[in-house]
Structure 1
Amino acid sequence: MRASVFVLFFLLLGGCAGADNNPGDLPYKYWRLGFLAPDYMEVWVETAHAEDIRGKTFFHVGSGIVAVRTPPEEKGNPAGWGKRFGWGAGRHVNGADLPRRIYVRWQSMAEPQTYRVILDIPERARQLMSERLAPPCPASEYREALTLGLAPGGVVRGWVMSTCGRPIEVLRAQAEIEPKGPYEGTSQGSHRPLSETSKAYIEKHGIPYGSW
């Protein structure tokens, strides 16, 4: 029942994105949604949807493996997020105005567990994404990227960033377990497998819950 409510929430948000490529008040052509995970804590995004400030919904704006480091010889450090990292694996959300809400369902392959969450994007994030940088980055004049960090335990962190400078944290959230399991119950509870490097690290060192 709760799973159905999640789906209906996005279907009733106000409208689906169509062929309209007008970004409204967006000061650049499009913004980017990216995903990352701590070292070795591999994540597979099953799907992500976004609603912009005009009430339009953009379905399936994210899927697949997220950006994650798996250094050999256990040289990585999965505790915490660090001060600098990239935009994450993702894509541009074409035709969208600034983000209002984002829904994500993903597999935390390190546990394994499947989570889902609806994120209310704070006004501060939109303000930061609208401000022209002074001085601008060599490749961008705005903070055009929204990056979501997905960690074991359903921990979510969000940052906005440009092509230079440090990420600016704009949200923290706790996801809930997807009651249907991976792939909405179509895989009989089977999650995607970890890489051998990540599996070996976790078997030896465990998962640093509470560090994110």
Structure 2
Amino acid sequence: MTLGKSALRLLVSLALVLLVSGCAGTNDYGAKLPYDAWRLGFFAPDYMEVWIETADAVDTNDRWFKRAMSGVSSISSPSNLKGNPRGWPRNPGDGKGKYVYGADLPRFIYVRWQSLAEPQTYYAYIEIPESARELMVKGERAYCRGTGTWGTEYRKNISIGLAPGGVAKAWVNAPCLDAIEVSRVQGKVVTKGPFEGYSDGKYYRAPNPESQAYIDKFGIPYDSW
């Protein structure tokens, strides 16, 4: 059977619609985002090292993504004690992390971490409010100095700072857009200790020599975070 020109054009149009709808940011679970995945990253103030036992993400469909991130966070430990751990950077970077594929936008992040500087183990539930999720899917024109070009950017990166005393603070950002603070929570002590009590109180490791030297000389600025 030979198709007429109008029928052929209709079939081609339907095929294009299906192709676009299947590729325009729809992930494996059907979540419609303007990108393939969002990123979860962590950092700590200078010298205040942390070890992340687990960071789990729960999306807006109540799906739980276990161990979306774990291990060491991003940190700077300048030699000669020239770093400054007090407070948070005005425009924090992405932190060390991973992309969370197959998830819709995040509703909250659960993180359990070892503050090696103290040492102490904490956990926190970090809510990602609706206003933050709106920012994550809002495209903005931005100029990237690194490439010298203009383009549309999305704040699809969630950066979380972890500080001694159990403080956790979250921002959404993008490589060429300023970070926006979206949450700050006070974590709680894990009474079982590191590794949920399975390590007989032993932490992942001691702080590196530069970090320990700073702590020995200046202490931990708990009141700055």
Same fold per TM (> 0.5)?
yes
Q: CA shift at 1:182, angstroms?
A: 0.3
Conserved 8 A contact 1:155-1:173: yes
Contact 2:43 2:162 in 1 (8 A): yes
Q: Identical aligned pairs, as a percentage?
A: 51
Pick from 181, 192, 197: which aligns with 1:185?
197
Query: CA offsets per residue over residues 57-94 of structure 1, 9 Å max, x none?
Result: 11110111100100000110000112133200000001
The equivalent of 2:18 in structure 1 is: none
Q: Count the aligned residue pairs.
A: 193
Residue of structure 2 equivalent to 1:173: 185
Query: How far 1:25 sits from its partner (Å)?
Result: 2.3
**Structure of larger gyration radius:** 2
Is the partner of 1:82 in helix, strand or coil? Answer: coil
Tell me the equivalent position of 1:69.
Answer: 76
Greater strand share, structure number: 2
CA contact (8 A) 2:155 2:177 kept: no
Which segments of 5 or more consecutive residues in structure 2 lack a partner in the other structure? 1-26
Alignment of 1:112-123 (within 5 A): 112-123=119-130
Letter of the aligned partner of 2:173 in structure 1? Answer: M
Aligned-residue offset at 1:183: 0.4
- Give structure 1 regions of 4+ aligned residues with deviation exceeding 4 angstroms: 136-140
2:8 maps to none
The equivalent of 2:104 in structure 1 is: 97
C-alpha RMSD of matched pairs (Å): 1.5
Q: Secondary structure at the match of 2:162?
A: strand
Match of 2:168 in 1: 156
Larger deviation, residues 131-140 vs 114-123:
131-140
Q: Output the TM-score relative to the length of structure 2.
A: 0.82
Q: Deviations over 1:85-139 (max 9, x none)?
A: 3200000001011000111000000000000011221111101101001237557
Amino acid at match of 2:213: A
1:206 matched to which residue of 2?
219
Aligned 8 A contact 2:168 2:184 in 1: yes
Evaluate the alpha carbon distance shift between residue 99 and residue 136 of structure 1 in structure 2; reply closer, same or farther with a 3 A threshold. Answer: farther
SS in 1 for 2:153: coil
Match of 2:23 in 1: none
Q: Does the CA-based 8 Å contact 2:158-2:172 persist in structure 1?
A: yes
- Aligned-partner Cα distance in 1 for 2:96–2:133: 21
Of 131, 135, 139, which aligns to 1:124? Answer: 131
- Aligned pairs (5 A) from 1:7-46: 21-22=28-29, 24-46=31-53
Q: Match of 2:224, as an amino acid?
A: S
TM (norm. structure 1) is 0.87
Task: For structure 1, list consecutive stretches of 5 or more residues without a partner in the other structure.
Answer: 1-19
SS of structure 2 residue aligned to 1:124: helix
